[in-house]
Structure 1
Amino acid sequence: MGNAFVVQYETSSEKADENQRLVEAVFAELAAKAPAGLSYASFRLADGVSFVHVGRYEGEGDSPLPALDAFKEFAAGMADRAPAGARPSGATLIGEYGFGD
């Protein structure tokens, strides 16, 4: 089933739109480069400042996300946008239905 991960964090209200723009840039680069074996989704929660990223990748080694230029830009300012930090976690996929289709 591959390697799965979940990352959760809250931004400041002033930085939430900037964070979303940076996340959208990551998805634009993913669309252009189409790394094999990666499934990835990001959510902005109803409170407007909480974000959740869920991903899964097949193969050995680490996720291909950190190698993307847009992801590097996203990660570089994370401490400023989310002062409490991100809460990354490995995850075990139990099941899915139509996710990402």
Structure 2
Amino acid sequence: MSSTVIRYRTKPDAADENQRLVEKVFAELAETRPDGLSYASYRLDDGVTFVHVVNGEGLLDLTAFQEFQRNLGDRLEGTPDREPATQLGRYPA
């Protein structure tokens, strides 16, 4: 399964909006429950750094994710770091 870790910082005044858009992605995932996709998102304690971990395919097809990406560049400070990763384990499986 392909895994990707994405980390970025938002502008301070855009962090809450970014979180709201991420929460909409999770709401759509709860409704559609796509097979073969695992997705986790974190807002770090600094309040402006976000980390997303994606395993599998299908996230790009979600309407809420497309909305999240639409103005992402306007919310960011700098560019996101995106790295492929190999999952070593997961609990619960």
Query: TM class, shorter-chain normalised?
Result: over 0.9
Contact map agreement 1:78 1:85 (CA 8 A) in 2: no
- Which residue in 1 is equivalent to 2:6? 7
1:70 to 2:52 alignment: no
The structure with more helix, counted as a fraction of residues: 2
Q: Aligned partners of 1:9 and 1:85: how far apart in 2?
A: 7
1:80 to 2:74 alignment: yes
The structure with more strand, counted as a fraction of residues: 2
Following TM superposition, by how much is the alpha carbon of 1:90 offset from its aligned partner in structure 2, in angstroms? 0.9
1:94 to 2:84 alignment: no
What is the one-letter code of the residue matched to 1:44? R
1:38-71 CA-to-partner distances (Å, cap 9, x unmatched) read 11100000000000001212xxxxx201111100
Q: Which runs of 5+ in 1 are unaligned?
A: 58-62
Q: Aligned partners of 2:90 and 2:62: how far apart in 1?
A: 26
What is the one-letter code of the residue matched to 1:79? G
Q: Aligned partners of 2:70 and 2:17: how far apart in 1?
A: 13
Q: Aligned partners of 1:28 and 1:96: how far apart in 2?
A: 22
TM-score (norm 1): 0.87
- Identity between Structure 1 and Structure 2 (%): 49
Q: Aligned partners of 2:6 and 2:91: how far apart in 1?
A: 21
TM-score (norm 2): 0.94
- Deviating beyond 2 angstroms after TM superposition, the runs of 4 or more aligned structure 1 residues are 96-99
Q: Aligned partners of 1:6 and 1:64: how far apart in 2?
A: 15
RMSD: 1.2
What is the one-letter code of the residue matched to 1:4? S
